[in-house]
Amino acid sequence: MPRATQTTIQCINCRTPFRATINALIDPAQNPQAKIALLAGGANTFPCTNCGTPNTVLTPLLYHDASKELLVSFVPMELGLSKDAQEKAIGDLMRDLTTNLPQGAFKAYMLQPRSALTMQGLIEQVLQADGVTPEMMQAQRERVRLVEMFIQSPPEVLPSLVQQHDAQIDAQFMQTMTLIIQQLASEGREALADQVVDVQNTILELSSFGQTLMERAQAQETTIASVAEDINALGQNAQRSDFIQLAVRYADDPERLQALVGLIRPAFDYTFFQEFTTAISQAPASERDRIQGVREALLELTAQVDQQAQMALQEAANLLRLLLSSPNPDELIAANLPMIDYTFLQVLSANIQEATRRGDVSASGRLKDLYNRVVAALQASMPPELRFINEVLNAPTDAEALEMVNQRAVEFGSGLLDALDSVEQQLAGQPNPAIMERFEAVRRLAVQTLSG
């Protein structure tokens, strides 16, 4: 049996036939998504293209992870295969696996594959190889049960349920809930996913865990605002030495240091750290250790910020792959709109450029099509004021832009001024001075029109 087979499935719910690719070999090195699907309980499970019902295709399969020397075979009992037929099916898959191995990759563990009797057993073997203990699995199963209970309960009993299970509501519980939401959305069950999001928000509001999160977020906001004020006070022409002094002032306040790096990461470049070293050597001996500590903290914080940016890029790249492989990208775009941000658009544009550079017309065509869909979805989801500002900023000439404001500003009223403020923040750092000039002219006219 080949490792991947195209087949036609008839939906168990609505009888619609649709095409699916069945994987008889799950190897995370080749297809990480297949492992994720397996752990979610859905190896070879395909949502119906018509009604979204998950359809599972039972098939003998091999799970192989060379990095963990793990090879497990699984023949679903429901297939009712004789012992001989089971051995033949696994033997065929093994042959396919070993003949496709790179040279020198054959290892002793492949001679004796383990077997799993049930899908759950297979999942547990995979998890154990990942270092997940049976106790951790048990705890996770309880978490899932708890999440399910919350989802199935009528809204009016949520407050008392939260009170009753307050101690079990923690970061892992919330993460489990988020995974379930993602799973539902990826199966095309958006309405249910939205409901679970509402339940999650209610739990966040009512639980001690949510309260703590909120208090921490508020404290963080206050810190960020006060650090931003300090930075502003340094003025437009602040030098690296000013930032060094500011950082040293925060020596005993790691949260302020963190806010400082988060706000102005680009200021902490190579030259900054060089100047910092000089400043340390010039400081009085009694101060040096303390200042040295600040420099080290800043180095660590900048590394953290860079890593987070890296992770955001990774997430955007994953989403892009998902969208490209989806038969219905518009639905997926709508479900993932909050993740479609500046970083995502940057990754998408970079991919278009790269495909164009390679001369891969088909890939660049698909990517550009996706870009248009994403932009259309973003525009459709924008409040009308923002959509209007966007149109104005993209008008062919300044005169036309101002004429649009002249004619339509009253339609939006003071909401337009608020929207202009939020756009101004997004435009800060925008390298194109023509856009900024047009923006300023637009705002002057809008203020004038609306106050007159």
Residues that bind Zn ion (CB under 5 A): 11, 13-14, 16, 48, 50-51, 53
The residue (of 47 and 329) whose beta carbon lies closer to Zn ion is 47
Cα–Cα dist 390/426, whole Å: 12
Q: Say which residues have a Cβ less than 8 Å from residue 296's Cβ, sequence separation at least 6.
A: none
Q: Which residue reads 């000013």 in tokens?
A: 242
Task: Tell the smallest beta-carbon distance from residue 311 to Zn ion (Å).
Answer: 36
Closest alpha carbon to 131 in 175, 67, 190: 67
Q: Say which residues have a Cβ less than 8 Å from residue 50's Cβ, sequence separation at least 6.
A: 11, 14, 16, 18
Task: Tell the smallest beta-carbon distance from residue 10 to Zn ion (Å).
Answer: 9
The residue (of 53 and 318) whose beta carbon lies closer to Zn ion is 53
Neighbours of 367 (CB within 10 A): 23
Task: Tell the smallest beta-carbon distance from residue 188 to Zn ion (Å).
Answer: 10
The residue (of 46 and 412) whose beta carbon lies closer to Zn ion is 46
Cα–Cα dist 420/136, whole Å: 50
Cα–Cα dist 384/419, whole Å: 10
The residue (of 51 and 110) whose beta carbon lies closer to Zn ion is 51
Task: Tell the smallest beta-carbon distance from residue 181 to Zn ion (Å).
Answer: 22
Q: How far is CA 388 from CA 14, 400, 401, 428, in A?
A: 43, 13, 10, 19
The residue (of 11 and 26) whose beta carbon lies closer to Zn ion is 11
Q: String of b and e for 157-168 (b: at least 16 CB within 10 Å)?
A: ebeebbeeeeee
The residue (of 143 and 189) whose beta carbon lies closer to Zn ion is 189
Cα–Cα dist 155/211, whole Å: 20
Task: Tell the smallest beta-carbon distance from residue 422 to Zn ion (Å).
Answer: 43
Task: Tell the smallest beta-carbon distance from residue 53 to Zn ion (Å).
Answer: 5
The residue (of 14 and 29) whose beta carbon lies closer to Zn ion is 14
- Contact present, 154 and 195 (Cβ < 8 Å): no
Q: Say which residues have a Cβ less than 8 Å from residue 379's Cβ, sequence separation at least 6.
A: 387, 390
The residue (of 39 and 51) whose beta carbon lies closer to Zn ion is 51
Task: Tell the smallest beta-carbon distance from residue 14 to Zn ion (Å).
Answer: 3
- Contact present, 340 and 333 (Cβ < 8 Å): yes
- Contact present, 308 and 343 (Cβ < 8 Å): no
Task: Tell the smallest beta-carbon distance from residue 326 to Zn ion (Å).
Answer: 17
